[in-house]
Amino acid sequence: YEHALRDSEARYRTLVNSATLGIIVVEDGLLRFVNPKALAVLGCIEAEVFNQPFLPLIHPDDQAQVKVNHARRLEGQAEGLTYAVRMQNRQLGWRWIEVSGVQFEWHGRPATLNFLTDVTERRQADDQIRELAYHDTLTHLPNRRLLLDHLKLARAACRRDGKSNALVFIDLDNFKPLNDQHGHAVGDLLLIEVAQ
């Protein structure tokens, strides 16, 4: 029986240690277990975080959300809950980490088994796509799509509140001759300067 138990534990350790997700156990607010992938996500060694409070690793602006979600998970009310928070990586600084998990018992005490995935690059790509979709690449000013969206909202607010608003249009005189005479690079510099 003991041999079968040791084999089972060895398989479990191999599975958890080779997982591509960061896996941590939080019990009584402390990190009780951290797999190698979680250590990579945090940019530290096990001795730096084992039995240490979990909350200081979370960005101060995200700590309230983590407290609420951790309490919900402990109560078994967070099935399927996945959310992103900023966590401190000792080498890379703040990183966006997607957190999911389940309630379970750790040595007979209530705890949470949490799965961590670094989604920083994905969030940065999403931000860049959003920037490209709604802002001019040269001046970084809102583009026509964003202008029309804002105008639609402003008109609806005016109708609702019975107020009026105005739109100011700025035109650059003789821009085409400047572009033709001095090239598009000079025209671009003028547009950037006007935008600022």
Edge-first strand order for the sheet with 30-34 is: 30-34, 22-27, 109-118, 93-106, 83-89
pLDDT tens digit string along 5-58?
777 777 777 777 777 899 999 999 999 999 999 999 999 999 999 999 999 999
The pairing of beta strand 83-89 with beta strand 30-34:
unpaired
R_g over Cα of the chain: 26
The alpha carbon of residue 87 and the mean position of all alpha carbons in its chain are separated, in whole angstroms, by: 9
Q: At residue 130, what are phi and psi to the nearest 5 degrees?
A: -65, -40
pTM of the model: 0.67
Q: pLDDT at position 3, please?
A: 76
Q: pLDDT at position 196, please?
A: 85
Query: What is the percent of the chain where pLDDT is above 70?
Result: 100
Q: pLDDT at position 193, please?
A: 87
CA atoms within 13 A on the CB side of 95: 22
pLDDT tens digit string along 121-136?
999 888 888 888 888 8
Q: What angle do CA 99, 26, 45 make, to 5 degrees?
A: 85
Residue 127 to residues 29, 120, 187, Cα–Cα distance (Å): 32, 10, 28
